[in-house]
Amino acid sequence: MSDSMSAATLRSRPAHLAAVTLLTASLVTGLTVTHAHADPSPSAPPGSTTTSPPPTVDSNSPGLKLGDGATLAPARVIDIKSVVEDLGGEERREDTNSDVKFALQAEVLFGKDSAKLNAEAASRIKAIADEILAQKATKIRVFGFTDDLGSYEHGKVLSKKRADAVQQELNKSLDSSVTFEIRGYSEDYPIADNDSEEGRKKNRRVEVSFPRGDAPASASEN
């Protein structure tokens, strides 16, 4: 509900209004492309989202301008997803009010058709490990994905090996209290169109996701 909306407009609405509190996740600074939107049906693999409890709303607050006789419906939370990419789209961060997810394109981590990390990969993965520590997360999901070129089974093996490699590098910076869920999804769950090389490049990726803690979001430096 916009603060600039007039009382006359509000009085013209139905008596029972839903009070919706939008919890906007903190955005990473130092990166360039940002937007936030409701995400009722995310395309991420199963198990990567959770639901937050609704906030407390005072229906008698003088700041709520309702028409005479109007009352508030029970409060509910709409998940807001903020998405931040670097200029080349090589690294993508998504924040909701419950989770943080990083997606790294395979080209910045591995050679073609390889699961061996390159020299640049360690610093990128270390930045993600630092965020995991800042959020005090102990359950980490590492999922690998490919495009739809080649066989599905080859993609399944390659995506799993790449996820394993990222997990092993993350583990160098984390302690023994952290547990991992590691999967290779091959070409499943694309985030772009596989009909173009630009889209396939986005689909060849490794995602690292974990629950949000109380710490504010911080920027990872590339």
Q: Which CATH number fits domain 7-211: 3.30.1330.60, 1.10.1530.10, 3.40.50.11540, 3.40.190.10?
A: 3.30.1330.60
> What confidence tens digit (pLDDT) does each residue in 136-182 have?
999 999 999 999 999 999 999 999 999 999 999 999 999 989 999 99
Would you list the domain boundaries of the chain?
7-211
Helix (H, G, I), strand (E, B) or coil at 110: strand
Q: 33 pLDDT band (50/70/90 cuts)? A: very low
| Both structure tokens of 122 | 């360690």
- Residue of 180, 94, 88 lying closest to 139 (CA atoms): 180
- Residue of 96, 195, 77, 85 lying closest to 147 (CA atoms): 195
Q: 54 pLDDT band (50/70/90 cuts)? A: low
